[in-house]
Amino acid sequence: MSTTPNSAAPPYRAPESRRSGARDLWHRISEGRQIEDLWTHFVADARASYGFYGRDVDWEKIRALPRWRRPFHVAKEFFWALLLKMTPARRVLLVIGLVLIMFSATTLRIGSHTFLDFKMEGFATIIFLLLLALELADKVTMKRDLEIAREIQLWLVPAQPPQVEGADIAFATRPQNSVAGDYYDAFYPEPGSNRLMLVIADVAGKSVPAALLMATLQASLRTIAGEGASVAELVARLNRYACAHSLDGRRFTTAVIAEYDPGTRQIAYVNAGHNAPILLHVNGTTETLDVGGLPFGIESTAAYQMGTARLEPGDALIFFTDGVVEAFDASGQEFGNQRWLDAIRALPAVGAQESLQHLMRRVDEFVGATRQFDDITCMVFRSK
């Protein structure tokens, strides 16, 4: 029977229910994200993992080797960096799984007859799935604990800025992990008080240890400020407390402690080794608040100088931590002080929240989806 070219059978199409099921499965796995978005996050995770394991690699030793030998030694160093981060029992399981894969296609023959044929891929797969399940269980448990710690930490910082006569405040923080070592605050130390305390601090280190020290700093600061202590006394007492708990200076804290008087628009401050806040005047000039002394926790008898500044209507005072200027893009280039200063100088004449969004957007545009290795915190105080 002859057929014409146009009478070919139509291409096979899967039933609609099957296609719908596949779409539902993909949506559940990908959470509805686009391929480009998933790839961007994968690249960011890969870079972060490379940096994490690469810290345990002796790069100096590898660079001293001939070029043809380097790839093998890099692979070996990364393997050991991965292996030694597991428990001994899981290391043994991993090695067994790798051995099973290596010998899974091994066949021993005697003459023309098969004597022994190894097919161990299934056992190796089960071992790797078991290891994945064990590591994932640890991660989920730790993540849940970190989320609880994050909730507690959020209780220690203001959820909403206080009302200030003739001024506007906004703040934002992005922890590198679930919990952060950055601290910001804006509060009236005593009921009915007219003096406003402005604080930003950065505890050396990251994650849980830094967060615990941040909590003790917050409690001490609030307690001392509530006793009516002046900025000078507050700073001296905080430094003595930090020195007593700094592990011989290894856990120091940089901070800016400031007191604002709405009546005079005067701000008195001490900068304890922190990134200097930038005061943008309405006429476009800038001023840095860099008067102070050493970070807290280094020297118990350290002397601190006090600086002052005056805010005119329309001025903006920007507090920030080093995570802002040290934010980096996919190529490893830092955002840097100059870009940050340019972003501040380009601030439009808007409120504190809009100013904060403008600044954080500039940082976000620079870093893209690159995972950061430090907390990012910014607080904007805008005079009306």
The answer to whether the pTM exceeds 0.85 is no
Instruction: Please report the sign of the dihedral spanned by the C-alpha atoms of residue 50, residue 56, residue 61, residue 66.
Output: negative
Give CA–CA dist 332/12, Å, rounded.
49
Q: What is the helix (H) or strand (E) element at residue 167, kind and residue range? A: strand 167-174
Per the rule left: phi > 0, alpha: psi between -120 and 50, beta: everything else, 325 is alpha
The domains located in the chain, with CATH, are 24-149 (no CATH), 162-383 (3.60.40.10)
Mean pLDDT value across residues 289-302: 93
Mean pLDDT value across residues 207-225: 82
pLDDT at residue 60, as a whole number: 87
Residue pLDDT, tens place only, 51-104: 788 888 888 888 888 888 888 888 888 889 888 888 899 999 999 888 888 877
Mean pLDDT value across residues 20-38: 78
Task: Name the residue among 262, 256, 257 with its Cα closest to residue 195.
Answer: 262
Look-up: residue for tokens 């917050």?
218
Does the pLDDT at position 205 exceed 80? Answer: no
pLDDT at residue 118, as a whole number: 62
